[in-house]
Amino acid sequence: MCCLFASMAFIGPRFGILVWWLLDSVLWEKAFSSFWVAFLGFIFLPWTTIFYVLVWSPGGLTGFDWVILGLGVLMDIASYSASGYERRMAYAEGV
């Protein structure tokens, strides 16, 4: 069950990015200056990328937008650390 949660935490936001990009690619093109920035966000920081597009406006990020973006960073850190924790637990049980 825990492995399923870790897998969904890893795959889920990337699937969400893909679907959202297919539905509203114009917003994604406006939010990111280059394809590579969005692509690297997709690979390494998917939650942060989703929250950035969610709060993005032509005037830039202001006020509470930074708090929401920080929440995305925390969710990325949590998903990576949960994956590491699950690997350690699986290794410890196998020994």
pLDDT tens-digit readout, 63-84 = 999 999 999 999 999 888 866 6
Of the candidates 43, 40, 93, 50, the one whose C-alpha atom is nearest the C-alpha of residue 73 is: 50
Enter the pTM of the model. Answer: 0.78
In percent, the amount of the chain with pLDDT more than 90 equals: 55
**2-6, 19-23, 47-51, 58-62: lowest mean pLDDT where?**
2-6
Name the residue ranges covered by the structural domains of the chain: 2-94
d(CA 95, CA 43): 32
- The dihedrals phi and psi of 45, each to the nearest 5 degrees, come to -135, 70
Per-residue tokens: 26:
């114009």
The pLDDT value recorded for residue 31 is 93
According to DSSP H, which parts of the chain are helical? 2-23, 25-31, 35-44, 46-55, 64-94
Tens digit of each residue's pLDDT (9 = 90 or more) over 8-20: 666 788 999 999 9
Provide φ and ψ at 61, rounded to 5°: -85, 135
Cα 6 from Cα 10, distance rounded (Å): 6
